Chain A
Amino acid sequence: MDKERIDRIIDKHQSEASSLIQVLLEIQSENHWLPKETLERVSEKLQVPFTRIQHIASFYKAFSLVPKGRHEIHLCMGTACHVRGAPRLLDMVQDLTGIKPGETDLDMKFSLETVNCLGCCALGPVMEVNGKTHGKMLPSKTADVLKNYE
């Protein structure tokens, strides 16, 4: 991520140290992960120690310190999805992609994350791929959904 883009985001938040989380969120959303050099720039501009930035980047779930795959799978593990069979769905997705939650495969094709509630409980169990919701999922339907992504 280039310096100008980072600086633009920081300036938007009036370079206030208390906006650190908001700044990181915006970088995460534009870049999909937080590279070390980017965080160093943030630390320098906001005058916040690098250790504190690391603390925050590892404390909050929204941030990733490793690059993400081309397609992001979010599997809802909320209670409603859980009682409707989300754990079996997770097993199947893990089998099919070969990755566990928090991981990205070697081809950088899929990243898998579990989330705690997408708020579409009527459609549970829910799997979201690149923001598109796939509702009423069954382990037996998973392969058909995932094969649409290259």
Chain B
Amino acid sequence: MPRINSPAELEELRKGILSKRDPNKSCITLCSGSACHASGSADVALRIEEEIKKQGLSAEVDLRRTGCHGFCERGPIIVIHPEEICYFQIEPKDVPEIFSQTIKEKKVLERLLYTDPITHNKIIHESEIPFYKNQERLVFGSNGNIDPKSIDDYLAIGGYSALAKALSRMTSEQVLKEVKKSNLRGRGGGGFPTGRKWEESRHAPGEIKYVIVNADEGDPGAYMDRSLLEGNPHSILEGLTIGAFAVGSHEGYIYVRQEYPLAVENVTIAIKMAEEVGLLGKNILGSGFDFNVKVHQGAGAFVCGESSALMTALEGRAGEPRPKYIHTAVKGLWDRPSVLNNVETWANVPLIINKGADWFARCGTERSKGTKIFSLVGKITNTGLVEVPMGMTLRDIIYKIGGGIPGGKRFKAVQTGGPSGGCIPEDLLDLEVGFDELTQAGSMMGSGGMIIMDEDTCMVDVARYFLDFLTDESCGKCVPCREGMRQMLKILTNITKGKGREGDLVLLEELSGVAGDASLCALGRSAPNPFLSTLRYFRDEYEAHIQEKRCPALSCKELIAYHIDPDKCQACMICLRKCPSEAISGGKNRIHIIEQEKCTKCGTCFELCPPRFGAVKKISGEPVPFPIPEGERILIRKSKEK
């Protein structure tokens, strides 16, 4: 591809790409994000390619492997353009029929469509499916339409026009002013105003400055940054370059977890392509502005998501944070001014430059503008990535988009903000999501993980889980975090094992206070949040564990027992055969009994007992009923009695 040297040449190139594309040619977009890949989208892609070849359709049909479409629950997903027919949970065996029916005959295959769970209507188009319909996908929307490995695809949807605008028609002050005016706040967790960070760096002394993409997405249950980086890497590069221009930086880094190999691959390809056409490198678009980007892989440390720790890691050292009396924007990487923003923050920048700060600020709450991508996971019907305007209520996100709780279970809490966040109970479901709103409720926005919990989730165990995570991930540099977390974890573990004592909760609160005040970085300071928020809203569960040695959610292994109800057992032998510890006695026509001494509480019997019998019970806080006497264990089947 020839190098482009001016905005006019960029537009020429774009026109050239578009003129070669026939909007009426069939194009199958197949989600190839990590989640769909895990559900088999690579096999589907191979099958589609085979079919195109076999039928000699390469002139009539294109296959485009795109990034994540968002609706991970129903993957692998394909959309057939231009009709925009959406098929879900595709298997390789469905491919021939898709070709013979939909591609050739233009007939819709009902069985692969989305079925509305309430009306039972079949829905053909993505835009009519409730999961998509209620979203506002400004940042994430292009993911499903472009091949992340092709710069042409990004250019075809108007890519790099914001960069051209910034470099040719705006001064760096104007770019900064626009971002400041938009009130864009950091999407990585803290919610710090992006424009202010840029301004601080811009005015900081020093010739060499850095801009960095934080793609060290460590919150368990959050994967939007990965999907953006995998699915639309050029949008992040474009944002980063615009930021570099505003700050006066000529070197950028992308710090990405090594656990995200596809993201590393796609962003590396994107950098190479942008360099080839001259959208990165020297004298970008003839503006005289130089900018280069390098990819740096993280080596697996949660704390490296923290800005100063990330920069230490970039320098090739162990990622430990430092006190931030002087912001990293002034003294960061190699002690030089460094702007670090999250993936999603950078991806918002081209939109703001192209459409203006007022357009961006038109949606959202008073202090949180624009949209936010959440990863909606856990006990939810529609697992996936959703992008909604700030200010949407949790209830709308969970029920309108997420489709509510599966299996007829009752909603208990939503956990936001990752290990630094907290759990929000049912009576706060009408809370509007925004940085300050969530903080007031004792949680936080974080990077956007939203883990839904139902009645089977024990809140004490959730607090213990996060403390366990943080104890493991604490870098060990400061005492309040290193030792405080360890003590908190010890006490919480005891509580979940039925060894909780009076006074434990007071002690935990005290430890939380110290860790929260005295820790060096945000990891330690926010570490007590999962405990404090669950205590605030679910104190009764803590008390049940401590006082009655009972787990109300029937989840804590040490506090529950499995038991077979003799009146319901049909002696079907399923649990008996599958019990890994051979703890179930009985036989054909002999009611099964769990021998409590042998039971390891793995739950296999509970899972396998046919729902129509429902004979295996979980109990907590009460003694296990005595097994019925040997002589009464013969099962007399009702049908035979007659």
Interfacial residues, chain A to chain B (CB-CB below 8 A): 16-22, 24-25, 52, 55-56, 59-63, 77-80, 82-85, 87-88, 91-92, 95, 115-124, 126, 133, 135, 138-140, 143
Is the beta-carbon distance between B300 and A61 smaller than 8 angstroms? yes
The smallest beta-carbon distance between A7 and chain B, in angstroms, is 18
Please report the total number of B residues contacting A with Cβ < 8 Å: 58
Set of chain B residues within 8 Å of A115, measured between Cβ atoms: 259
How distant is the Cα of A97 from the Cα of B306 in the complex, in angstroms?
Answer: 36
Binds A, one of B51-59, B194-202, B314-322: B314-322
Which residues of A have CB within 8 Å of B469?
77, 116
19 examples of A-B residue contacts, CB within 8 angstroms: A21-B296, A56-B318, A59-B319, A60-B319, A62-B300, A79-B451, A79-B462, A85-B603, A92-B602, A115-B259, A116-B218, A116-B220, A117-B223, A118-B38, A121-B35, A121-B378, A123-B35, A124-B377, A139-B607
Given contacts A59-B318, A59-B319, A143-B580, contact A121 B602 (CB under 8 A): no
* Cα distance A6–B300 in the bound complex, in angstroms: 22
A138: chain B residues at CB < 8 Å are 604, 607
Q: Is B170 an interface residue (CB 8 A)?
A: no
Quick one: which of B34, B218, B580 contacts A92, CB cutoff 8 A? B580
A133 and B600 contacting across the interface, CB-CB below 8 Å? no
Known: A120-B72, A138-B607, A140-B604. A80 touches B301 (CB 8 A): no
Are the C-beta atoms of A79 and B299 separated by less than 8 Å?
Answer: no
Chain B 227-265 residues near chain A, CB threshold 8 A: 258-260
Complex contacts, A24 vs chain B, CB 8 Å: 299
Contact A59 B465 (CB under 8 A): no
- State whether A80 touches B221 (Cβ < 8 A): yes
Binary contact track B294-328/A, C-beta < 8 Å → 1, others 0:
00111111100000000001111111000000000
- What is the count of residue pairs linking A and B with beta-carbon distances less than 8 angstroms? 147
Q: Which A residues are in CB contact (< 8 Å) with B317?
A: 20, 52, 56
A19-B316, A79-B378 known; 19 other A-B pairs, CB under 8 Å? Answer: A22-B296, A25-B258, A25-B299, A55-B318, A59-B475, A60-B301, A62-B258, A62-B299, A78-B220, A79-B462, A79-B466, A85-B603, A92-B580, A95-B602, A117-B218, A120-B35, A121-B377, A121-B383, A123-B38
Q: Which residues of B contact A121 (CB under 8 A)?
A: 35, 72, 221, 223, 375, 377-378, 383
Q: Is the Cβ of A95 less than 8 Å from the Cβ of B220?
A: no
What residues of A have a CB within 8 angstroms of the CB of B300 in the complex?
60-63
CB <8 Å contact, A21 and B223: no
A80 to B377, CA, bound (A): 6
Neighbouring A residues of B600 by C-beta, 8 Å: 91, 95
B241 to chain A, nearest CB (A): 23
- The answer, yes or no, to whether B150 is at the interface (CB within 8 Å) is no
Q: A48: shortest Cβ distance to chain B, in Å?
A: 8
B:361-397 near A, CB below 8 Å: 375, 377-379, 383-384
Among B221, B465, B603, find the residue whose CB has the most chain A CB atoms closer than 10 A.
B221
9 closest A-B pairs by beta carbon, nearest first, are A61-B300, A60-B299, A78-B220, A119-B223, A121-B377, A80-B377, A133-B38, A122-B383, A122-B72
Hey, which chain B residues are within 8 Å of A85, CB to CB? 603
Give the residues from 416 to 475 in chain B that come closer than 8 angstroms, CB to CB, to chain A.
418, 449, 451, 453-454, 457, 462, 465-466, 469, 475
Q: CA–CA, A140 to B297, complex, Å?
A: 37
| Docked pose: A126 CA to B39 CA in angstroms | 11
Bound-state Cα–Cα, A82 to B453, Å: 10
A91 to B72, CA, bound (A): 27
Q: Is B222 an interface residue (CB 8 A)?
A: yes
Closest chain A residue to B475, Cβ basis: A59
Query: Are A88 and B603 in contact (CB-based, < 8 A)?
Result: yes
Determine whether the beta carbon of B299 is less than 8 Å from that of A21. Answer: yes
With a cutoff of 8 Å between Cβ atoms, the chain A residues found around residue B383 in the complex are: 80, 121-122
The residues of B that contact A143 with a CB separation of less than 8 Å are: 580
A91 nearest in chain B by CB position = B602
CA of A45 to CA of B203 in the docked complex: distance in angstroms?
39
Check if B11 is an interface residue, CB within 8 A of chain A. no
CB contacts (< 8 Å) of A60 on chain B: these are: 298-301, 318-319
Q: Which of A79, A117, A135 is B39 in contact with, Cβ under 8 Å?
A: A135
Instruction: Knowing A92-B602, A122-B75, A133-B38 are in contact, say whether A61-B221 is a contact too (CB < 8 A).
Output: no
Q: How far is the CA of A78 from the CA of B315 in the complex (A)?
A: 29
Q: Are A25 and B259 in contact (CB under 8 A)?
A: no
The interface residues of chain B lying within 8 Å CB-to-CB of A116 are 218, 220, 302, 469
Which of chain A's residues has its CB closest to B301's CB?
A60
Contact of A61 among B223, B299, B457 (CB under 8 A): B299
- What's the Cα separation between A124 and B35 when bound, in Å? 11
A122 touches B73 (CB 8 A): yes
Q: Are B603 and A117 in contact (CB under 8 A)?
A: no
How far does the Cβ of B200 sit from chain A's closest Cβ, in whole Å? 25
A61, A80, A85 interface centre (most CB from chain B within 10 Å): A80
User: When A56-B317, A117-B219, A123-B38 are in contact, do A139 and B603 touch as well, CB less than 8 Å?
Assistant: yes
Which among B260, B315, B475 has the highest number of chain A CB atoms within 10 Å?
Answer: B315
Minimum CB–CB distance for A144 against chain B, Å:
11
Inter-subunit contact B379/A83 (CB<8 Å): yes
In whole Å, how far is B405's beta carbon from the nearest beta carbon of chain A?
A: 11
Q: Output the nearest chain B residue to A116 by Cβ-Cβ distance.
A: B220
Q: What residues of B have a CB within 8 angstroms of the CB of A91 in the complex?
A: 600, 602
Q: Give B339-378 as 1s and 0s: 1 = Cβ < 8 Å from A's Cβ atoms.
A: 0000000000000000000000000000000000001011
